[in-house]
Copies of this chain bind each other. A is one copy, B any other.
Amino acid sequence: MSEYSVLGKKLPRVDGLEKVTGAAQYGADIHRAGMLYGKLVRSKHPHAKILSIDTSEAEKLPGVRAIVTQNDVESGRRVFATDKVLYLGEPIAAVAATDPDIAEEAAELVRIDYEVLPVVQDVMQSIQPTAPRLHSDDTKDGPTRRTIKAQLKKLQDDESQDHSAEIAELNAQLGILEDELYYNISAETHSAIGDVEAGFAESDLVVEDTYVIPRVHQTYMEPHVSVADVDSIGKITVWASTQGPFAIRSGIAGTLGIPLNRINVIPTTMGGGFGGRFGVALTHVPAVLLSQKTGRPVKLQMTREEEFLDGRPAPGCVIKLKTGVTADGRILVRQALGFWDSGSVSGASIGSTIRVRGVYKIPNLKVDAYGVYTNKSGTAAYRAPGTPQVAFAGESQLDEIARQLGIDPVEFRLKNLREEGDLIPGGGQRGGSNEPKVGYKETLQAVADAVDWKNRTKGPNQGWGVAIGDWTNGCGPGGMYVSVHEDGSVRIFHGSMDITGTDTALAQIVAEILTVPYEQVTITRGDTDSAPYATGSGGSVVTFTMGNTAKLAAEDTCQRILELAAERLNTGLENLELKDGKVSVLAQDSPRSISLGELAAYSLSTTGGPIVGKGSFARQPSTPALAAQIAKIEVDPEAGRIKVLKMVSSQDVGFAINPMAVEGQIEGGTVQGYAWATMEEMQYDENGNVNPGFVDYRVPTSADLPTVESVIVEVEAPNGPFGAKGVGEPPIIPTLAAMANAVADAVGVRVTELPMKPERVLDALSRK
C-alpha cells in the first residue's frame, strides 16, 4: 500500500525502549509509602468441608495488621470459601503484614479444620452418577433443563389459565436437549442447524472420534499482582496489571457493592495476558479488602506456584465428533458433543464448541456442549478461547476423512470452504451471519503456495500437516483524545491496554492522518478516572475498535487544524491542504504555509483554544479473521520426539498496519499452539496437586522453537480502520491440528489426545 507514509511500515514499537531498558513499570515495581504486604490463606485440600477458621494465633504475630475472611465482605458476594473448599489452593482468608515473610508466616498460622471429601478431577468421571458432587446433589439435570423444568412446573401448577401451548413449547425445548443426562454440569449450550439424522443417512462416509485436550496455563511472565490503596474517604485506588482496567473497575464495584466513581484503576505495564488477566478475584478484591481494613496500601502478589494452583487457565475438554461426507468429498453433516472442564466454577469456553463448523459450508450441524465441575480452579480465556481445542478436533477429523477418501487435504478443504454470501452456521452467536468478502481461499492458498504444497517431498518419519481456522474479530466501545503541542508533537490519550503492539498501530494511524513523522506521536494511557471508557483488550478487539477510534479522533483533530489555519491564513477551508505536518494554501502565486506547532501555539490565543480532537466508537460488523498453517515434522521413532522442520503460517489480517507487529503475533501464536500440541499440560493428581512451575510444566525455550515463516494475506475488511482486522488470536488456532496432521502423515498413526509428548507418541506408535 504505497499510498501511505506511516501505515504498512515495519516501525519499532512505541514502548520498545522503555521495555528493554527496564523503565516500564510493572505491578511489582509499584511501591507506596507505608505499604503492607498481603498473602492469601489457601485450602490444603482439593475438596473438603470447612469446620472452623481460627485466625487468633496469626493475629498475634508481630507485624500482622489485618486478616480478612468472607465475614469482611459486606456485600455478601463470595470472595473467600466459607463452608466448603472445591480445589487445592482455594482462598479462605487473606493476611496483611508489614513484610512479605511475616504475611506468609501468618497465613500458615491461620488454623482451618476440614472434613475431607472425595475428589473428582476428570470430566468424564465427573459426569457419572457415582462421582462426588461439587455444588449440588439433588438433581442430575444441567442448569438449562433445571430452568425449563422449573418453568414447566410453575405453568402446570397454575390452574387459573390454559397454558397448554406454552407447556408444549417448553417440552419441545427440553426435547432438543441431549437425551442422556449428566452430573456436575456447570453450564450447557445446544444448537442445531438443518437435520443431522438426514445428513448422516445421506453420507457416504461417517467418521467418529473422541479428542482430548489438556488444560494449559497462559504462562504470562508476570504473576497476578495488585496494589490497593483505600483512602480516608473510602476512595479505592488499585494499581492493576490487567487487560481491562474498566472491567476491573466494574468487577470491584460489583463484588463489593461500591459505585464506579469511587474506584480508580491505574493499569500498570502488563507482563503478558493472553486472556488470563481480566478477573478481580485473584488479587484485586482481596487487596482492596485488606486496604479497607488497615487504611494502608497493600500489595498482593501471587507466586508462580499460586499461579498454577489458583490461576484461571484455559480449559481442557473432551470432544466427541462425528462427520459425514459424500464420496466426492462434500461435508454434509457434523455433530459434536463437548465436555469442558470448568473446574470449581461455572463457565469454560463451551460456546466455542460451535466452531467445529470451521471455515466450511456444513448444511447440517448439531452441537451440544457442557461445562463440567471438577476439583480445580476455574478457567478463563486464553488466546481465541476454546477455539484451538475445537479446531484440533475439527481439523484433525477432516484430515482423517481426506485420508480415507484419498483426497489431498488442501484440495479437500478448498472444496468445502465457505464463499462470499454463505451463512456462517450459528453465526448469529458471534459476529454477523451474512458474510462480506473474507479471504478463506486466499489464506489457505497462500500457505500452500508458500511451501509449494503440490510438489512437497518428505523423508522417512517425516510428514506434512495442514490446518485452517477462523476467529471472530471482536468489537467494543472506546474513546480517545488527540492533541497537538506547541512544539508540533502529537499526543494520543486513551484507556485501552496494549498487549500486542496496538499502541504502535494507533500512533501510526494518527501520524498518517496528521501527516507527521511517526516519532512525533506519543501515546499515553490513562487510568479509569481520567481516560475515556475503553473496551478490554481481548478478542482481538483493539486494533479494530481503537483503530477506528484513533481514526475518528485524528480526523476531528485535522478539522480543528484546518479551521485554525483558515483563521490564521485568512482563507477558506477549501483552499487548504494538510501535508508533511503543515497546512499550505493551494493554488497561490506566493505559497504560504504554517506548521502544526505554530498552529498549536496560535490556538492558545484563539477563542477555540488548544487543538484537541475526540474520537468515540463502539460497534460495526466485523469480518472473520483467518489463519492457516502447514507444518513439516519428523518423528524420532525411538525417542518419540517431534522435530519441526518447517512451519509456515498465513493469516488474513485485512491490512497490516505494522507488518513487523503482525509477524510477531503470527510467530507468537503459532509457537503457543506448537507448545500446546507437543508439551504443555496441567497435570493434576488425586490430591489436587498440579505441576506448579516451569520445571514441571514445560513451555518451549528458544532451543525448542521452530522458525515460523509468516505469510501476510490482506483481504480488506470493510469496517476495519484502513481495512485492518484484529490479528492477535487467529494464529494459535490451527497449530494443534496442523501438528497432529503432520504426525499422522509421518507415522500413519493419529494422536487424538494432546500433548503429543514423547511417551504418548511412542504409545501411539506401539498401537500401530
Contacts and interface: CB of A to CB of B under 8 A. Distances in A.
Top 8 closest pairs, chain A to chain B, by CB = A31-B33, A609-B616, A23-B231, A477-B604, A21-B232, A609-B618, A533-B610, A609-B617
Interface stretch (A181-189, A344-352, A433-441, A524-532): A524-532
Given A609-B477, A612-B616, A617-B607, A235 B533 contact: no
A517 B260 CA distance: 16
A487 B253 CA distance: 11
B479 A529 contact: no
9 contacts: A21-B232, A23-B233, A31-B33, A477-B604, A479-B483, A493-B529, A605-B618, A608-B616, A609-B617
A522 B528 CA distance: 12
B260 A485 contact: yes
Interface string A447-491: 000000000000000000000000000001111010101110101
A144 interface: no
A111 interface: no
Given A477-B609, A532-B610, A33 B29 contact: yes
Copies of this polypeptide in the complex: 2
B532 A487 contact: no
Contact of A607 (B18, B33, B483, B620): B620
Contacts of A231: 18, 21, 23
Given A31-B32, A260-B486, A530-B526, A610 B23 contact: no
A254 to B, nearest CB: 11
B617 A614 contact: no
Given A235-B18, A603-B477, A610-B477, A259 B487 contact: yes
A191 interface: no
Given A491-B529, A530-B530, A22 B232 contact: yes
A607 B612 contact: no
Nearest to A522: B261
Contacts of A610: 477-479, 532-533, 616, 618
A605 B21 CA distance: 39
Nearest to A16: B233
A604 to B, nearest CB: 4
Nearest to A17: B233
A605 B477 contact: yes
A604 B616 contact: no
A17 to B, nearest CB: 5
Interface in A512-561: 522, 524, 526, 529-533, 549, 560
Contacts of A524: 529-530
A401 B491 CA distance: 59
A462 to B, nearest CB: 47
A483 B522 CA distance: 23
Contact of A23 (B21, B235, B487): B235
Interface string A264-301: 00000000000000000000000000000000000000
A427 to B, nearest CB: 18
Given A608-B618, A612-B616, 4 more contacts: A477-B609, A481-B481, A526-B526, A607-B619
A481 B233 contact: no
A233 B20 CA distance: 10
A151 interface: no
Contact of A487 (B260, B603, B611, B620): B260
Interface in A586-613: 603-612
Nearest to A231: B23
Contacts of A549: 609
B612 A608 contact: no
A614 B477 contact: no
A478 B609 contact: yes
Nearest to A524: B529
A260 B491 CA distance: 11
A607 B620 CA distance: 6
Interface string A617-630: 11110000000000
A609 B524 CA distance: 20
Contacts of A478: 609-610
Given A261-B522, A489-B259, A491-B261, A479 B233 contact: no
Nearest to A520: B261
Contacts of A34: 31
A33 B606 CA distance: 43
Nearest to A483: B532
B530 A612 contact: no
A612 B261 contact: no
Contacts of A491: 261, 529
Contacts of A604: 476-477, 533, 618
Interface string A223-234: 000000001110
Nearest to A523: B529
Contact of A609 (B479, B481, B493, B531): B479
Contacts of A261: 485, 487, 489, 491, 522
Interface string A1-35: 00000000000000001100111000001011110
Nearest to A18: B233
Nearest to A606: B618
B608 A21 contact: no
Contacts of A614: 481, 612, 614
Nearest to A618: B609
Contacts of A605: 477, 618-619
Nearest to A526: B530
Contacts of A533: 483, 485, 604, 609-610, 612
Nearest to A25: B231
A233 B483 contact: no
A232 B615 CA distance: 32
Nearest to A22: B232
Nearest to A250: B486
B530 A233 contact: no
Interface string A488-509: 0101010000000000000000
